[in-house]
Amino acid sequence: MGSKESGNRTTAARHGPEEISNKDDKVIMKGPWLEEEDSILVDYIQTHGEGHWDFVARCTGLRRTGKSCRLRWLNYLRPGIRHGNFTLEEQLKILELHFLWGNRWSKIAESLNGRTDNEVKNYWRTRVHRQAKLLNCDVNSKEFGDIIRFVLMPRLAEQIRSKSRESSQAADLVSPAISSSSSSNINLVSMDSNGKALIMKRDHTNSLQDQWPSIQHDHHNEDGGGDQVGDEIWNDENVEFLRQQLFGHDDSDV
DNA sequence: AATGCGACCAACCGCCTATCC
DNA sequence: TGGATAGGCGGTTGGTCGCAT
């Protein structure tokens, strides 16, 4: 995901696991997993299947807790896991689904092929929180939620559409964003010819799905993904755009 | 070259729920 | 029915890296 480190990160190579005695005086390992531990776990699960994690930990002789084995498998070793940068579509989907479901990371992750809840959560807590801070907003505030839904998301949708057009791909991606559930009306957003957001009040009787069909992701990269360098929604251009929408002027000191 | 700082992310923690006995 | 246990999930921590100074 991040540009700083990616791929098969076995941190134990740099800083090994630590032995801890638990309350039963059994030694358990904590910290980064060793490659050897990984292969033991993978071998076991390929033979016996997932589940019964405490049993797995005991049977394999891994001095890990069942929980630790489960986490390592689900977040790292499981087949089909994709690491690397989120694509624009994935980032947009995260914003959309977070609006719908809140911090239901595992539920959101289910909708993103090969991504883990941990990755989605980390994305939200690093990127989104940071941008909220830069915009002087509380990430949980209605103000920030609105600016994401009514300004950033339609803008991204348009960017994705143009990109799809460019690459001659079908791109029936996103319809206008919808307001927070706390509001009695639903705000519909579109953009004027200058790219300025137009926020309109809507009747709340229209269903969410009617107004904003789900983003389609069939076309996204299945073979490793996250390779679209530069597909960062929080780029300078978009952040500046958000600032202008929020504060109505070019204020890069905010 | 050394240092400080922010970003990133793997792994752990603690709570909640489901299941079993 | 209720206690024990395992699994699942969201929140948090801490190590590492890259960049700025």
Written as one string, the DSSP assignment of A156-176 is HHHHHHHHHHHTT--------
Tens digit of each residue's pLDDT (9 = 90 or more) over A206-228: 333 333 333 333 333 333 333 34
Distance, in Å, from the CA atom of A240 to the CA atom of A103, rounded to the nearest integer, reads: 26
Is pLDDT larger for residue A128 or for residue A202?
Answer: A128
**Residue corresponding to tokens 């904590």:** A30
Cβ atoms A101, A220 nearer than 8 A: no
Q: Are A150 and A185 in contact (CB under 8 A)?
A: no
Total count of domains within chain A? 2
- Mean pLDDT over A130-148 rounds to 80
Cβ neighbors of A116 (< 8 A, separation 6 or more) are: A74, A75, A81, A109
Domain that holds residue A36: 17-77
A58 closest-nt by C1' vs CA:
C6
Instruction: Strands of chain A (E only): list them.
Output: 18-21, 27-30, 186-191, 197-202
Tell me, yes or no, whether A137 and A213 share the same domain: yes
Q: Would you say residue A69 lies in a domain? A: yes
Is the pLDDT at A195 greater than 70? The verdict is: no
What is the reported pLDDT for A40? 92
Specify the nucleotide whose C1' lies closest to residue A121 (CA): C10
Does the pLDDT value for residue A129 go beyond 80? yes
In a domain, A11, yes or no: no
pLDDT in tens, A23-77: 556 778 888 899 889 999 999 988 888 888 888 888 888 888 888 998 999 889 9
> Is the Cβ–Cβ distance between A128 and A246 less than 8 Å?
no
pLDDT of residue A183: 35
- In sequence order, what DSSP letters do the residues of A52-75 get, joined into one string? -HHHHHHHH---S-HHHHHHHIII
How would residue A3 be classed by pLDDT, with cut points 50, 70 and 90? very low
Looking at the fold, whether A55 and A94 belong to one and the same domain comes out as no
Inform me whether the pLDDT recorded for A15 exceeds 60.
no
Q: Which of A77, A98, A125 is the endpoint of a domain?
A: A77
The answer to whether A60 and A39 have CB atoms below 8 angstroms apart is: no
Q: Protein contacts on strand B: list nucleotides below 7 Å from a Cβ.
A: 6-14
Residue A157 shares a structural domain with residue A51: no
Answer yes or no: are the C-beta atoms of A226 and A1 closer than 8 Å. yes
List residue ranges whose Cβ is under 7 angstroms from nucleic strand B: A 1-6, 9-12, 17, 29-33, 64, 67-68, 71-72, 75-76, 83, 118-119, 121-123, 125-127, 130
Given this model, what pLDDT does residue A193 score? Answer: 40
What Å distances lie between residue A43 and A38, A58, A78, A234, A247, CA to CA?
9, 14, 12, 40, 56
Question: For A16-28, what is the mean pLDDT?
Answer: 70
Q: A213 and A131 share a domain?
A: yes
What is the CATH number for A60?
1.10.10.60
SS3 label, residue A30: strand
Highest-pLDDT range among A56-60, A171-175, A250-254: A56-60
Q: What whole-number percentage of chain A has pLDDT above 70?
A: 61
User: Which positions of strand C lie within 7 Å of protein CB atoms?
Assistant: 5-12, 15-18
pLDDT at residue A91 in the model: 87
Mean pLDDT of chain A: 68
Domain boundary among A37, A52, A77: A77
A59 and A92 both lie in a single domain: no
Q: Do residues A29 and A99 share a domain?
A: no
**Banded model confidence at residue A249, pLDDT cuts 50, 70, 90:** low
Task: Quote the pLDDT of residue A210.
Answer: 36
Q: Are residues A184 and A108 in the same domain?
A: yes
The residues of the protein lying within 7 Å (CB) of strand C read A 4-5, 11, 14-15, 51-55, 66-67, 70, 103-107, 117-118, 121-122, 125
Answer yes or no: do A38 and A95 share one domain.
Answer: no
Tens digits of residue pLDDT in A72-127: 998 899 888 888 888 888 888 888 888 888 888 888 888 888 899 889 988 988 88
User: Is residue A192 situated within a structural domain?
Assistant: yes
